[in-house]
Amino acid sequence: MALSDPQGILASPFTIINCRDESADIESIINVIKEYQVGQVIVGLPRSMNGSLGGQAEKVKAFAQKLGEHTEVPIEFRDERLSTVSAKRLLQATGDRKLRKRAKHDDAIAAALVLQGYLDEAPTH
């Protein structure tokens, strides 16, 4: 999970939700939405390299629909192809061995990359 600054300019890795079960995951996300006054949720959609939606993308869409039943905050999808690859490259480029060994950071960094892409393309906030 990633959050942006209040002005919607810069995305930063925030946390990892460890997919315990759907209800707990939704509750965790709703808590972040409330605590940080999130105005919009951007969900990474794992498309296939040819752009099609596979089984995992359908699961993500179903989860986002259920999340939407618990919040009035708008939810928008964003293509997340290659975001994890980019996150791993960024971690390797840091030169920090401890950080590179912590693979879980990949997901939070990938989320920040997806969100940053959205912020960069969004009209003025």
Bridge partners of 73, per DSSP, are none
Q: How far apart are CA 106 and CA 51, in angstroms?
A: 22
Of 26-30, 61-65, 88-92, 111-115, the range with the lowest mean pLDDT is 88-92
Q: How far apart are CA 48 and CA 32, in angstroms?
A: 29
Q: How far apart are CA 111 and CA 5, in angstroms?
A: 14
pLDDT digits (tens, 9 = 90+) for 9-67: 999 999 888 878 999 999 999 999 999 999 999 999 887 667 677 778 899 999 999 99
Q: What's this model's pTM, rounded to 2 decimal places?
A: 0.77
Q: Given pLDDT bands bounded at 50, 70 and 90, which one contains residue 108?
A: confident
Q: Which domains does the chain have, with CATH numbers?
A: 2-121 (3.30.420.140)
Task: Quote the pLDDT of residue 46.
Answer: 83
